[in-house]
Amino acid sequence: MSSSAHTRKTNKKNFPLECLLMPRVPRSNYLQFQEEKQKLQLKKLLLHRMFLVARVTANKEKKDIAEYYEQLFQSILKHHPGEAVTGLLLIYPNSIVHILESSNGTLYQILLDYLSHEKDEREFFIQGMKIIVTSHNIPTRLFMQWHVSVIKAPVMYLDDVTQSLSLQEVMTEFLIQTHKLALHLFKTVKVGTKGPGDNLHQVAPELLLPEQIIKYICNSAELMDPETFINMYNKPIHVTLDSEVVWPTPSSF
């Protein structure tokens, strides 16, 4: 009797310890889920996509514009490690369309560099930049690398057409055409190649925007310029509660 009673007492004492030693089901929070998702997509940080337009000095050499951005990308990655820049730069005779994919910090540094040149250099070859749209936390890239293409299409005078359309209609057309072009290049350009080259006006002329539309967007006062965007980015967010604007000040009894 004493032996069996002793065994039961021992089992009762060991039962909680055995429960502690039992393997538990691993649990993860939402942050860990997002981090694992980023690793599976081979992304270090959240990706963002930005569409830009700007005016450039007439007949500016493709080499000069491409070298400026390539050196800028290398400098940013050296001092601010993050996601590599991919995208597409379309160089028209007097304007550019630029699609950029990278981390939020890298895009921020690109805009800051433009502002520094715009303020310090009166004759900087990129002027009047406007931000069309910024897409946050994109699921995947449309471009596997950064491409530059010169558009050699003939100049089209569409003053009457652009003046008859609203800004919303022009912006809609801009976004539709650029997304179609991006998807076309995503399907046709292989990783590691030089990109679409300078014959897009022959390969996919229906996907290219006339330069007159780009000029129309650059001259639009409704669209945000980099300086305004940076000021909003750096501005702290203050949430004002209803109780803070009620007069007299509510008091507890």
The predicted structure's pLDDT at residue 129: 95
Q: What is the pLDDT of residues 69-83, one digit of tens each?
A: 999 999 998 887 777
Q: Which two tokens stand for residue 247?
A: 């007069």
In a domain, 22, yes or no: no
Helices (runs of H) and strands (runs of E) counted in the chain: 9, 5
| Count of other CB atoms within 10 angstroms of residue 196 | 19
Q: Residue 128: pLDDT band by 50, 70, 90 thresholds?
A: very high
Residue (of 214, 47, 65) closest to 149 by Cα position: 65
In a domain, 24, yes or no: no
Are 110 and 79 spatial neighbours (Cβ–Cβ below 8 Å)?
no
Omega before 23 cis (within 30°)? Answer: no
In a domain, 20, yes or no: no
Query: What residues make up the domain containing 203?
Result: 39-234
In a domain, 4, yes or no: no
- CA–CA separation, 223 and 226 (whole Å): 10
Q: What is the CATH number of the domain that holds 152?
A: 3.30.70.100
The stretch 202-214 carries a mean pLDDT of 86
**Domain count along the chain:** 1
pTM: 0.73
In a domain, 207, yes or no: yes
In a domain, 23, yes or no: no
Residue (of 220, 99, 93, 98) closest to 169 by Cα position: 220
User: What value does the mean pLDDT of the chain take?
Assistant: 79
| Count of other CB atoms within 10 angstroms of residue 139 | 8
For residue 51, how many C-alpha atoms fall within 13 Å in the half-sphere facing its CB?
18
Q: Which two tokens stand for residue 7?
A: 């065994």
Q: What is the pLDDT of residues 139-194, one digit of tens each?
A: 888 888 899 999 876 555 444 456 677 888 889 989 999 999 988 888 888 776 67
In a domain, 85, yes or no: yes
Q: Residue 212: pLDDT band by 50, 70, 90 thresholds?
A: confident
Q: What is the pLDDT of residues 32-77, one digit of tens each?
A: 666 666 555 555 678 899 999 999 988 788 889 999 999 999 999 8
In a domain, 60, yes or no: yes
